[in-house]
């Protein structure tokens, strides 16, 4: 193994570790929302917010700021300090983990750059990733601010944007890491699958974002039957809101219906892709990506239906979100394998 190959492998492993940290961040964010903890911190201190309150006086001051906002006044009136701490810690850990990810990315990047391991084209991409990470922090606060108003619930639009940007960052990291491990001259052997793989990635991404709109509207708490919704294949009231296009973003029935249709379409598309790929001559890595995608799709569909039928228990809902991230990540791997060197 040459020194260059060893360096590429080291950088790839580092990127995979950062990717795993991003996945953990996404799941922690989902649990934070599911437990109604996301609005417990009513200010944003990106530089000085590393430390939590320590003294009783500091806790009382933080709690007093929270009590000044509508979530306490409308949803949690009478909450005790100990109850507040329970929701505060989740949001604090979510924000702290984001800062730790920033350090885990930036410090090794500087070390690798100092050693001359990162060529200029890759360096530009790394800088772009770091900027995206910073923008994600801003987007997170922008989302939280939407809930610090008379209606104490974050905007589903901003939630979807926050989640979508997390997927974009994760996808970018995985794309670079997988590319670093892929032999330069290796071809997947399935160039005919290149465009269908991209189409699958687009469909998986769209389905995941539609799920963020379901979460943002608490849409999983209604129509808790499958495959019918309120005893119908197509429920009433899908286009009740005017103008019509708002139904796809603000009508709970429409948003959940769309997510169901997209989820089933995604699953069927994965199955069709797998069946077509069975007879193709592919590399071992490409074949493995196809098979893993099918397995993850089966698990994710099962998790989605179970989460709905059981009225969104926190543990199952978090697993469903993890399944979405896993399916997206596998789709990135699939596309990367069929993309060529």
Question: Average of pLDDT values for 24-29?
Answer: 97
CA dist 275 and 155 (Å) reads: 40
Torsion of CA 151, 157, 161, 167, to 10 degrees: 100
User: What pTM was estimated for this model as a whole?
Assistant: 0.95
Question: Residue 42: what are its φ and ψ, rounded to 5°?
Answer: -95, 5
Enclosing H/E stretch for 91:
helix 81-115
CA dist 213 and 224 (Å) reads: 17
Residue 156 has pLDDT above 70, yes or no: yes
Residue 218 has pLDDT above 60, yes or no: yes
State the pLDDT confidence band at 288, using cuts at 50, 70 and 90: very high
State the pLDDT confidence band at 100, using cuts at 50, 70 and 90: very high
CA dist 299 and 297 (Å) reads: 5
Residue 188 has pLDDT above 80, yes or no: no
Residue 185 has pLDDT above 70, yes or no: no
> Considering only 70-84, 175-189, 206-220, which range has the smallest mean pLDDT?
175-189
Residue 312: per-residue pLDDT: 96
Tally of CB atoms within 10 A around 151: 11
Taking only the tens place, the pLDDT of each residue in 113-147 is 999 999 889 999 999 999 999 999 999 999 999 99
Ordered DSSP codes for 236-274? TTTT-SSSGGGHHHH-HHHHHHHHHHHHHHHHHHHHHHH
What share of the chain has pLDDT > 70, as a percent?
97
Residue reference for tokens 């993850």: 296
Residue 189 has pLDDT above 70, yes or no: no
CA dist 177 and 305 (Å) reads: 33
3-state SS, residue 50:
coil
What residues contact residue 140 under an 8 Å CB cut-off, 6+ apart? Answer: 95, 98, 162
What share of the chain has pLDDT > 90, as a percent?
87
CA dist 326 and 341 (Å) reads: 23
Least Cα distance to 68 among 103, 110, 38, 40 occurs for 40
Q: b/e per residue, 263-287, with b = 16+ CB within 10 A?
A: beebbebbeebeeebeeeebbebbb
Residue 24: per-residue pLDDT: 97
3-state SS, residue 232:
strand
Taking only the tens place, the pLDDT of each residue in 35-77 is 999 999 999 888 778 899 999 999 999 999 999 999 999 999 9
What are the structural domain ranges in the chain? 1-181, 186-341
Residue 187 has pLDDT above 90, yes or no: no
Residue 200: per-residue pLDDT: 98
| CA distances in angstroms from 256 to 152, 220, 224, 295, listed in the order given | 22, 7, 10, 24
Residue 19 has pLDDT above 90, yes or no: yes
Residue 341 has pLDDT above 70, yes or no: no
| CA distances in angstroms from 301 to 202, 219, 304, listed in the order given | 17, 17, 5
């Amino acid at each position: 193994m040459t020194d260059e190959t060893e360096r590429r492998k080291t950088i790839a492993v580092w990127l995979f570790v950062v990717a795993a940290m991003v996945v953990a961040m996404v799941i922690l964010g989902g649990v934070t929302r599911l437990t109604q903890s996301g609005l417990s911190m009513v200010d944003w201190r990106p530089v000085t917010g590393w430390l939590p309150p320590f003294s009783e006086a500091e806790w009382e001051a933080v709690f007093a700021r929270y009590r000044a906002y509508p979530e306490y006044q409308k949803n949690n009136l009478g909450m005790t300090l100990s109850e507040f701490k329970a929701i505060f810690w989740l949001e604090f850990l979510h924000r702290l983990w984001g800062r730790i990810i920033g350090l885990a990315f930036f410090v090794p990047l500087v070390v690798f750059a100092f050693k001359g391991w990162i060529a200029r084209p890759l360096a530009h991409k790394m800088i772009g990733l770091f900027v995206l990470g910073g923008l994600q922090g801003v987007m997170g606060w922008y989302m939280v601010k939407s809930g610090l108003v008379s209606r104490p619930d974050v905007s589903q639009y901003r939630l979807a944007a926050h989640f979508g940007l997390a997927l974009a960052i994760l996808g970018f990291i995985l794309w670079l890491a997988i590319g670093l491990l892929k032999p330069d001259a290796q071809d997947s052997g399935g160039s005919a699958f290149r465009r269908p793989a991209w189409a699958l990635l687009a469909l998986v991404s769209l389905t995941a974002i539609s799920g963020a709109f379901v979460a943002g509207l608490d849409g999983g708490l209604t129509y808790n039957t499958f495959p019918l919704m309120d005893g119908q294949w197509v429920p009433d009231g899908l286009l009740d809101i005017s103008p019509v296009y708002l139904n796809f973003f603000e009508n709970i029935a429409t948003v959940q219906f769309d997510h169901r249709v997209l989820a089933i379409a995604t699953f069927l598309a994965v199955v069709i892709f797998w069946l077509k790929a069975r007879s193709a001559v592919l590399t071992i890595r490409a074949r493995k990506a196809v098979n893993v995608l099918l397995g993850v799709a089966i698990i994710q569909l099962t998790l989605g239906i179970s989460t709905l039928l059981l009225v969104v228990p926190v543990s199952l809902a978090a697993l469903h979100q993890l399944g979405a991230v896993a399916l997206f990540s596998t789709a990135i791997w699939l596309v990367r394998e069929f993309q060529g060197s």
